[in-house]
Amino acid sequence: MNKAQRIKNSRIPDQKDTFGGRLPPGQTLTEKFPILHEGEVPEYDLTKWELSIFGEGIKSRSFTYEELMRMPQSTIVKDIHCVTRWSKFDNEFKGIKFLDFLKEAAIEIPPSATHIMIYGDHDYDTNLPIEDLLRDDILLAHSYEGKPLTPKHGWPLRLIVPHLYFWKSVKWLRGFEFMSKDRNGFWEKNGFHHYGDVFKEERFSGEDLDIPEDEWKKKDFD
């Protein structure tokens, strides 16, 4: 059974308190920070690390870690929500706002671009409409709660897209590809929704069934 199937086949958690509508439907609150990803945690030599921008209508460019760290730094405090049904309130991330990154790097979004593919190690990708990355709370994050991200949570750099399910928040971020039409990324090809709005419960690409309440409880935490 694949992950989408497994999640579809289980019971919906019995969380009655929505904290005044703050907790999205079908989610359970956790205080711990679960760790979820495919494959091994990558290791890096930061002097060789690069973030790439490429795609239709744009000249390919890349940025070193040092260049990014010299850009304006911002802190956001946001709730995060994973499709496996955990939510965590008030997470403080520090990094570079995507909007500031575009400005500092003088990147003009190609007029033909409607969507972006976001790439992370190892071979992870996920798609987003461009306007979702142009919100003021989209962050290229390097720190969590005042400390560098742990390698398992995406150090040296991860994306934070708070308004969508957390699979869009690519860990070990390596690149952005501008696209003139939508294309599915890793989980979107594997049964999950192409967009992933947490309050509309856009979990799956197929019909909506239940999710295993304890899927995430078997994972690592820190």
Ligand X SMILES: Nc1nc2c(c(=O)[nH]1)N[C@H]1C(S)=C(S)[C@@H](COP(=O)(O)O)O[C@H]1N2
Contacting residue, 101, 167, 176, 204, with ligand X by CB under 6 A: 167
Q: How far is the CB of 216 from Mo ion (least distance, A)?
A: 8
* Strand-strand pairing, 86-97 and 115-120: unpaired
**Residue nearer to Mo ion on the CB measure, 53 or 170:** 170
For Mo ion (CB under 5 A), the number of binding residues is 3
Contacted by 12, from ligand X, Mo ion, none: CB < 5 to 8 Å by type:
none
Does 192 contact Mo ion by CB under 5 A? no
Does 166 contact ligand X by CB under 6 A? yes
Q: Is 199 left (phi over 0), alpha (psi -120 to 50) or beta?
A: alpha
Does 82 contact ligand X by CB under 6 A? yes
Q: How far is the CB of 160 from Mo ion (least distance, A)?
A: 14
Task: Decide: 137 and 111 in contact? Cβ < 8 Å.
Answer: no
Encoded one letter per residue, x for contact with ligand X by CB under 6 A and - for no contact, window 26-65 reads --------xxxxx---------------------------
Q: What burial letters (b/e) apply to 41-76, b meaning 16+ CB within 10 Å? A: bbeeeeeebebebebeebeeeebebeebeebeebeb
Indicate the residue whose CB is closest to Mo ion. 167
Contacting residue, 53, 82, 133, 161, with Mo ion by CB under 5 A: 82
Structure tokens at 191: 């049964």
Contacting residue, 155, 167, 178, 204, with Mo ion by CB under 5 A: 167
**Interacting positions 145-164 with ligand X (CB under 6 A):** 153-154
Give every CB contact of residue 74 below 8 A, 6+ residues apart in sequence. Answer: 94, 95, 96, 97, 100, 139
Report the amino acid identity of residue 101.
Answer: F
Give the max Cα distance, the chain.
50
Contacting residue, 120, 175, 185, 212, with ligand X by CB under 6 A: 120
117 beta partners: 127, 177
Kindly tell me the burial class for residue 16, based on how many C-beta atoms sit within 10 Å of its own C-beta (0-12, 13-18, 19 or more). exposed
Which parts of this chain interact with ligand X (CB under 6 A)?
A: 34-38, 82, 120-121, 124, 153-154, 166-167, 169-172
